[in-house]
Chains A and B, each alone.
With several copies, the nearest count.
Chain A
Amino acid sequence: MQTSTINIENIRRDFPILQRKVRNNKPLVYFDNAATTQKPIQVINSIHNYYLNYNSNIHRAVHQLAEEATAAYELTRDKVAKFINIKNREELIFVRGTTEAINLVSYSWGRQNVQKGDIVLTTEYEHHSNIVPWQLLTKEKEAKLEYIGVDDNGELILDQLNAYLDTGRVKLVTFSHMSNVLGTITNADEIIKQCHKKGVKVLVDAAQSVPHMKVDLQKLDCDFFAFSAHKMLGPTGVGVLWARKAILENMQPFNGGGDMIREVHKYETTWNDLPYKFEAGTPNIADVIGFSAALDYLENIGMDKVREHEIELTKYALEKMLTIKGIKLYGTPDMKKRGGVISFNLGDIHPHDLATIIDEDGVAIRSGHHCAQVLMERLDVSATSRASFYIYNTKEEVDVFIRSLNRAKELFRI
């Protein structure tokens, strides 16, 4: 029950769901972490405790509950600032998730800054959340959405970036820091360097990176940065958008409503200070507070340890999977360039059928297009199966998974 890096037994005790039996009384093997992770009892209790003891709307009342709830909500902002190492807490905006964060940028920054004929540049391995908002924007503005290609190793073809930058029409380059299908870690430093040379803004979709490796925004030096709490031990319904203050100050608001205003008059209104200008309406108070406990939990383990553990597990799984005849693995074999996400196909078994079969053995993986249909087209498959790991997963669980894959092969007579 141990990789060399972290004490998994202790960790597993914090996740009550891992004791659960599924289907025919099989222990749960949860390998669907790229979709959402499980939550430690510390997070679950923190939400519980909020509702039991100090539930209140925030920011605008003087009574004690409001005071306590406001302080706890704002404390999470401080913790996020520390977690990704940024200086100005007011640059952090709480949203529902990565999807809303990217849409916020598209609506507020994009509609102001992207004009007819401009290019928004994304990549072939994006999640739909980092494609569709830009399709909507570029269609409205008669601008163009273009794609950096993916090579056969599952890495971006960065030469194409420069060709696009040379047109002088690129306004934004936006990419996933880690592919949710291939696990590829994008060479973000290089892309950002090239873009900033030409004054082009960069958005980093960090939904899959922040949960799995140390990210330091003062080093990364991008312009927009988005991620989701539910993919890093936190509650559903919380995400974070970070952007530079100078950019946020010049952006139009996104949603209008309570909390984001300074003064409302019938015919004109002024905006509140950052970050509130972008947090309209009652936020998801309980879950933002719960997210604090998730950040504490990860800080406690240490993100470098998280990454090491996942590398060890992924290596182990890849080696075992390669012994299965008929398996096709996607993505790079270079562990330095990938995270703990393994996409594969097994013979002619459709991923949906595979997932159903191994679910019978208690193994939860994801199958389908993973909200990355553009990448599916590139890989020329309609779907893949995907196993993705987190801090509580073990080599023993990988063994169960491997045995289950072999059973699927037998059932499909291959």
Chain B
Amino acid sequence: MSSADIYREIILDYYRNPRNYGKIENPDISKRDSNPLCGDELEMHINLKNNLVSDVKFTGKGCAISQASASMLTELIMGKDFEYVKKLTKEDILENLGLPDLGPARIKCALLSLKVLKYGIYSYVSEKLNDTTSADKIKEEASGLF
């Protein structure tokens, strides 16, 4: 993909005016991670109600791709069923971003938010729901992202 394709108006807008930026007090799900290669940081907070995502926020530092990706991800899952959220894939995220063909050097930026989300769900499912079978599967998916 060329830069002109990547840095479209919408990506820049989400980078400069991130939706759902901030924190939730005492969230049901809370996870922070960083990309050791580039130093990008991301923290995500989620509340659940009746198995739906009732609120979601993120904070972070990083490139346009990672921050836009995180912000768009929060919009994608807001109000959604938890089962749907659990099943989100790499491809879903890249499509949602409109960046299906990112090269190997930058795909990690786009997927950091999904990784944080999955590790957050993993902690929630294993610690709060005590469902270790599902949890292990999710952890494996998360660590397989990059």
- Interface flag for A142 (CB, 8 Å): no
B12 at the interface (CB under 8 A from A): yes
Is the pair A272, B63 in contact by a Cβ cutoff of 8 Å? Answer: no
Asked whether, in the complex, the Cβ of A67 is within 8 Å of the Cβ of B105, the reply is yes
Q: Are A356 and B38 interface neighbours, CB within 8 A?
A: no
CB-defined contacts of B6 to chain A, threshold 8 Å: 356
A389 on the B face (CB < 8 A): no
Are A59 and B12 within 8 A (Cβ)? no
Residues of B within 8 A of A369 (CB): 38-39
Distance of A171 Cα from B65 Cα, bound (Å)? 45
Using CB atoms, name the residue of chain A closest to B102: A356
B103: A residues at CB distance < 8 A: 67
Q: How far is the CB of B140 from chain A (nearest CB, A)?
A: 11
Which of A70, A276, A373, A411 contacts B4, CB < 8 Å?
A411
Please determine whether A67 and B104 come into contact, CB atoms closer than 8 angstroms. Answer: yes
**CB < 8 Å: which of B3, B36, B38, B104 contacts A411?**
B3
Could you tell me if B105 and A263 are in contact, using CB atoms closer than 8 angstroms?
Answer: no
CA distance A71 to B105 in the complex (A): 10
The answer to whether A356 touches B39, judged by C-beta atoms less than 8 angstroms apart, is no
* A59, A272, A350, A360: the one within 8 Å of B2 (CB): A360
User: Would you list which residues of chain A between 334 and 375 have a CB under 8 Å from chain B?
Assistant: 348-353, 356-357, 360, 367-369, 373
B12 surroundings in chain A (CB, below 8 A): 412-413
- Whether, in the assembled complex, A2 has its beta carbon less than 8 Å from a beta carbon of chain B, the answer is no
B48-69 CB contacts (< 8 Å) to partner A: 61-65
| B11-48 residues at the A interface, CB under 8 angstroms | 12, 16, 34, 36-41
Query: In the assembled complex, how far is the CB of residue A330 from the closest CB belonging to chain B, in whole angstroms?
Result: 16
CA distance A373 to B37 in the complex (A): 11
Contact indicator B3/A368 (Cβ below 8 Å) = no
**What residues of A have a CB within 8 angstroms of the CB of B41 in the complex?**
382
Q: Which residue of the partner chain B has the closest CB to A358?
A: B3
Would you call B70 an interface residue if the criterion is a C-beta within 8 Å of the partner chain's C-beta atoms?
Answer: no
A88 to chain B, nearest CB (A): 10
User: Could you tell me the dominant secondary structure of chain A's interface residues?
Assistant: mixed
Q: Which residue of chain B has its CB nearest to the CB of A408?
A: B3
Residues of A45-70 contacting chain B, CB below 8 A? 59-63, 66-67, 70
A368 CB contact (under 8 Å) in B37, B65, B104: B37
A139: chain B residues within 8 A (beta carbon): none
Instruction: Collect the chain A residues with CB atoms within 8 Å of residue B105's CB.
Output: 61-63, 66-67, 356
Residues in A neighbouring B36, C-beta threshold 8 A: 261-263, 272-273, 276
Asked if A181 is at the interface of the complex by the 8 Å CB criterion, the answer is: no
B106 within 8 A of A: yes
Query: Does B109 belong to the interface (CB within 8 Å)?
Result: yes
The yes or no answer to A303 lying at the interface (CB within 8 A) is no
**Residues of B close to A357: CB separation below 8 A:** 3, 7
Which of B38, B64, B106 lies in contact with A383, CB distance below 8 A?
B38
Cβ of A298 within 8 Å of any chain B Cβ, yes or no, is no
Report the bound CA distance from A368 to B41 in whole Å: 12
- Given contacts A60-B38, A67-B104, A368-B39, are A382 and B3 in contact (CB under 8 A)? no
Complex interface: chain A residues within 8 A of B4 (CB): 411
Task: Flag if A412 contacts B37 (CB, 8 Å).
Answer: no
Residues on A with C-beta less than 8 A from B143 are: 273
Q: Is the CB of A62 within 8 A of B7?
A: no
Q: Specify which chain B residues have a CB less than 8 angstroms from the CB of A70 in the assembled complex.
A: 104
Name the contact of A382 in the complex, choosing from B16, B40, B65, B106 (C-beta under 8 A): B40
Given the contacts A356-B6, A412-B12, A376 and B39 also touching, CB distance less than 8 Å: yes
**A373 CA to B3 CA, complexed, in Å:** 27
How far apart are the CA atoms of A357 and B1 in the complex, in Å?
Answer: 11
Report the minimum CB–CB distance from A131 to chain B (whole Å): 15
Chain A: CB-nearest residue to B6 = A356
Tell me if B106 and A352 are in contact (CB < 8 A): yes
A350 & B63 in contact (Cβ 8 Å cutoff): yes
* Cβ A352 vs Cβ B38 within 8 A: yes
Asked if residues A352 and B7 are in contact (CB atoms below 8 Å), the reply is: no
Complex Cα spacing A128 to B63, Å? 22
CB pair A352 B104 closer than 8 Å? no
Q: Give the residues in chain A near B62, CB-CB below 8 Å.
A: 350, 352, 382
Asked whether A353 lies within 8 Å of B39 as measured between CB atoms, the reply is: no
> CA A67 – CA B34 in complex, angstroms?
21
Note all chain B residues with C-beta closer than 8 A to A382.
Answer: 39-41, 61-62
**Least CB distance, B64 to chain A, in whole angstroms:** 5
A-B residue pairs in contact (CB < 8 Å), sample of 21: A61-B105, A63-B105, A66-B105, A70-B104, A71-B104, A261-B36, A262-B34, A263-B34, A263-B39, A273-B143, A349-B64, A350-B62, A352-B40, A352-B65, A356-B105, A367-B38, A368-B39, A369-B39, A411-B4, A411-B7, A412-B7
Q: A353-B7, A367-B38 are in contact. List 8 more A-B contacts (CB 8 A).
A: A67-B103, A261-B36, A276-B36, A350-B64, A360-B2, A382-B61, A382-B62, A411-B3
The 8 closest A-B pairs by CB, nearest first: A350-B63, A352-B63, A62-B105, A382-B61, A369-B39, A357-B3, A262-B36, A272-B36
